[in-house]
Chain A
Amino acid sequence: MTKHPNSPTTNAKSPAQMAPTQRNLLLFAGMAALLIMVGVLQSWNVAFSILNMCLISAIMALGVNIQWGYAGLFNVGVMGFAALGGLAGVVVSMPPVDAAWAAGGLGIIMGLATGIATLIAGMMVWRRGQSWGRWRYAATAAIVISGYIFIRSLADPSVAAIEAVDPARTGYLGGLGLPIILSWLVGGVFAAAAAWVVGKVSLGLRADYLAIATLGISEIIIYVLKFEDWLSRGVKNVNGLPRPVPYEVDLQANSWFIALADNLNLPLVDASSLMVKICYALLFTVVLLAVLWLSETALRSPWGRMMRAIRDNETAANAMGKNVTKQHLLVFVLGSAVIGVAGAMMVTLDGQFTPTSYQPLRFTFLIWVMVIAGGSGNNWGAVLGGFLIWFFWIEAEPIGLWLMDVVTSGLPPTHWLRLHLLESAAHTRLMTMGVILLLVLRFSPRGLIPESRR
C-alpha cells in the first residue's frame, strides 16, 4: 500500500495562518516580483527567457504532479519522456531529406513494419501458449529473436545508406515539414506511447519497480537518440528548427515594428528579440492554462476523487471495485503525455535538438524538486514550484560563484583552495538540489501550497 505524504493519516499542521487563497496570491505575486526585479536589474530579455523556461517547467511539473500528486506514482524517467517530446519536434517540423528517403526510406519502413509484426506475433504466441509449459517461453523467444535478426538485416543497409547522405548537413531522414506547433501534440503522443509500455510492464507490481523501470527506459531513450543518427542525427544535433513565431531579422525589416521600437525608445535589436520572447511566452501561457484547467477539472471530477481514494488506500479502493492497476496506467500515461508536450515546447523554444543536453539532474530530479517543494497534489503548487525552482536554478550559479568568491576573498587569488572552490562552484547545484529535496520532505512534506481538503 502506498502512503502518500498527503494522505489524511499524516499529521501535518496547516502552515497557513491567513486564508489559503490570500497566501497563494501572495506567493505568486512574490514570484512575479522576482521576475520583474530581474527585468529591472539585469535586463528584460533575461527576465523573459527565464519566464519562458519557467512556463515550460511548470507544465512538466504539472505532468509529474498528475502522476505523483494524484496517484502516488514515482516516475524517475521524466527526462526520457521530455526527450521523446523533443524528438517529435524534429520529426514533425524539419523538412524531409528526399535523398535519404530515396536511399533507405523503404528499408526503414520495412524494418519498422517487421518490428510491429514481430511484437504482435510474439504477444499472440505468449497469450495462446498458456498450456504449453516450457514451449511457451521457447516459442516466444524464437519469434522475437528471429524477428530481431530479420529487422536488422532489413534495416542495417538502409541505415548505413541514410547516414551516408551528406552527413555533414543531413545524414538523417528529416521530418515531415509540418508546422512545429503540431509537434506539441505529437510529442505528447510519443511520450504517452512509451509510458504505456513501461506502465504495462511495471505497474501492479511493487512501487520500486516502476521507479527502476522508468529510470531504465529514460536512459535508453537518450541512448537511442544519441546513437541512431538516421532518426535524430545523434550527437550531431538538429539545428534550425522552424519557429511558430516571427524571426528577429523579419521584425527588424518591418516598418510597423521599427516604429513601435522607436516609440518605446528601445534599440531595434533588443526590441526584436524581446518581441520574439514575448510571443513564445504568450503561446506557452495558453498551453499552461489549458493543461492547468484540464487538470483542475479532472481533479474535481468524480474521477479525481477516485484517484485520491486509490492513492490514499489502495486496498480499500480495490475492495470498492476500482481497478487500481488500470487507473494507475491511465494516470501514468496522461502525466507522461503532458511531460512530452512540454519537451516538444522546449525544443521549439531552443530551436535545436541536442540529445547530449538531456541530463537526469536537469530533466528528472529538478522537476521532482519543483513538484515536492511546490506542493504535491496541488496543481497551483506544482506551477509555483516550477516557476520558483527554475528561477533559482538559473540564478543559483551566479549566486554560488559570488558566494565562493566572497568566502575565499581573504586568500591570494592563486591559492589552490580558492581555485578548487571556484572551480567546483558548478557542482553545488547537485548538492543544493539534494539538500532542498531532503529539507522539504522532512520539514514541509506538503509543500508551499498544500493540497486542499475537499
Chain B
Amino acid sequence: MEAVLNALVLIGNYIVVPGLAYGSQLALGALGVTMIYAVLRFSNFGHGEIMSFGTMLVILATFALQDFGLSISPLPTALLALPVGIAGAIGLCLLLDRYVYKFYRQQRASPVIYLIVSIGTMFIIGGLIRFIIGPKDRNFADGERFIMKASAFKANTGLAEGLAIKTSQGVTVLTAFIVVGVVFWFLNYTRTGKSMRAFSDNEDLALLSGIDPDRVVRITWIITAVLATIAGTLYGLDKSYKPLVYMHLLLPIFAAAIVGGVGNPLGAIAGGFVIAFSELAITFAYKKVAAYLIGDGVLGDGLLQLLSTDYKFAVSFMILVIVLLVKPTGIFSGKTL
C-alpha cells in the first residue's frame, strides 16, 4: 500500500503539479492566440514575443520595486509589477495594430499575408527585447519559494517520496483560474464581449447590426496583451526568463490552440493542459515508479523513459500531427468565440 502511495506521490510531484502549472501557462498563451484567430482570422506568430515583451517590462519594474524595497512577501514582487507590463504590452499591441495590421485589414489581405506580417513583427519585437534587456537568462522570482516543501511532506506523511509545491506553481494556477473566469464572464455576459462573439461568428452580419469593427479589434488586442503578459510572467516566475525560450514557446502554444480547436477559447484551455501533461508524461522516467509498483529492475535497468527530455518540443509536434490527421478541427471544433 505504501509502495502504491509512494508511486502516486512521485507522479504527483513530477507530472501532476508541474503539469497543472505549465498547462495553465500554455492555456493562457493559447487563449491569446485563439482570440486573435477568432476575431482577426490569422495565426499570430508574434505572440511569443508579445509574452516576452510584457514579461520583460514586468522584470524591469520588479527590479525597480526591489530597489525601493517594496515587496509583498511571501508572494513574488512581480505580481505587483504586473500592471506595468500589461500597460506596456497593450501599448505595443495597439501600436502594431494601428501601424501594421490595420493596412492589411483595409486591403482584406489573405491570412498568409497576415502570417508573414506577424513574423515581421515577431522580429521587430524580438530585436527590441534583446536591445533592451539582452539575451541572457534572468531570474526574478522572490518571496517564499515553496508552499509545501518535499521534506515537510515526508515528515508529515512518513512516505519515502516528497511532494513539493512551489509558490510560483500555486500562484500560476490560481491566477490562471481567475483570469480565465474573468475572460469567460466578459465574453458571455458583457455587451462588448457579446459584440466580439458576434463579430467572430459572422463579420458582415455584425457590421450590419452596428458593431464598430475597430473597437472590437482594439479590445481583442487589449485582451490578448493582458493574457500574454500574465502568461509570460507566470512562466518566467515558474522557470526563468530567457528571450530565446519564449520564442520556442510558440510551438506548444500553437499546438495547444489547434488541439483544442483554433478560435475556441474553451478548446485553448483544454489544449494547454493536454499538451502540458503529455509533454511531462512522455518525457518522465518511470524507473522509480515501476520500482515501487512491480519491484526494482523487473523491466530491466533502463530509465523507462518514452522520450528523452531533449525532445520535449517533439511531443507538441506529435500531438499536433495526430490532431491534424485525425480531427483537423480540434477537440472542440473551433472557429467560434
Contact = CB atoms under 8 A, between A and B. Distances in A.
- A associates with B: yes
Interface of A: 1-5, 72, 74, 76, 137, 148, 156, 201-202, 205-209, 211-213, 215-217, 219-220, 223, 226-227, 361, 365, 368, 372, 423-424, 427-435, 437-438, 441-442
Nearest to A156: B302
Nearest to A157: B302
Contacts of A208: 42-43, 111, 115, 262
B320 A213 contact: yes
A438 B258 contact: no
Contact of A219 (B124, B251, B326): B251
Given A201-B321, A205-B328, A74 B116 contact: yes
Contacts of B121: 434, 438
B83 to A, nearest CB: 26
B126 interface: yes
A206 B263 CA distance: 13
8 contacts: A74-B112, A201-B321, A207-B110, A428-B131, A431-B124, A431-B128, A434-B123, A434-B127
Interface of B: 42-43, 45, 100, 103, 109-113, 115-117, 119-124, 126-128, 130-131, 134-135, 248, 250-251, 254-255, 258, 262, 302, 306, 308, 310-311, 313-314, 316-317, 320-321, 324-326, 328
State the main secondary structure of chain A at its contact with B.
helix
Shortest Cβ-Cβ A-B pairs, 9 listed = A434-B123, A431-B127, A3-B110, A216-B317, A434-B124, A430-B127, A437-B120, A427-B130, A208-B43
A76 B324 CA distance: 17
Contact of B324 (A205, A427, A428, A442): A205
Nearest to B311: A223
A209 B324 contact: yes
A437 B325 contact: no
Contacts of B45: 76, 211
Given A137-B326, A201-B325, A434-B121, A215 B251 contact: yes
Contacts of B255: 212, 216
B330 to A, nearest CB: 11
Nearest to A372: B116
B321 A441 contact: no
Which of A208, A431, A432 has the most B CB atoms < 10 Å from its CB? A208
Given A216-B320, A427-B131, A437 B109 contact: no
A227 B311 CA distance: 9
Nearest to B130: A427
A401 to B, nearest CB: 14
Contacts of B313: 216, 219-220, 223
Given A201-B325, A427-B131, A430-B127, 8 more contacts: A4-B110, A5-B113, A202-B324, A212-B43, A213-B320, A216-B251, A223-B314, A433-B123
Contacts of A202: 324
Nearest to B132: A424
A353 to B, nearest CB: 19
Contacts of B131: 424, 427-428, 431
A216 B43 CA distance: 14
A351 B64 CA distance: 49
Contacts of A219: 248, 251, 313, 317
A441 B328 CA distance: 30
A428 B254 CA distance: 27
Given A213-B324, A219-B313, A424-B131, A437 B123 contact: yes
B125 to A, nearest CB: 8
Contacts of A201: 321, 324-325
State the main secondary structure of chain B at its contact with A.
helix
Contacts of A205: 324, 328
A212 B45 CA distance: 9
B126 A227 contact: no
Given A215-B251, A227-B311, A430 B324 contact: no
B237 to A, nearest CB: 25
Contact of B117 (A3, A137, A435, A438): A438
A239 to B, nearest CB: 23
A264 B325 CA distance: 63
Contacts of A2: 110, 112
Contacts of A372: 116
B324 A1 contact: no
Contacts of A365: 119, 123
B250 A215 contact: yes
A211 B116 CA distance: 10
A434 B110 contact: no
B281 to A, nearest CB: 13
A201 B258 CA distance: 14
A429 B121 CA distance: 14
Given A211-B43, A430-B127, A431-B123, A438 B100 contact: yes
Contacts of A434: 119-124, 126-127
A233 B43 CA distance: 36
B258 A428 contact: no
Contacts of A223: 310-311, 313-314
A377 to B, nearest CB: 14
Nearest to B316: A216
Contacts of B42: 208
Which of A201, A428, A431 has the most B CB atoms < 10 Å from its CB? A431
Contacts of A227: 308, 310-311
A262 B130 CA distance: 50
Contacts of B321: 201, 213
Contact of B109 (A3, A74, A424, A435): A3
Which of A137, A368, A441 has the most B CB atoms < 10 Å from its CB? A441
B26 to A, nearest CB: 15
Nearest to B110: A3
A83 to B, nearest CB: 15
A437 B119 contact: yes
Contacts of B314: 220, 223
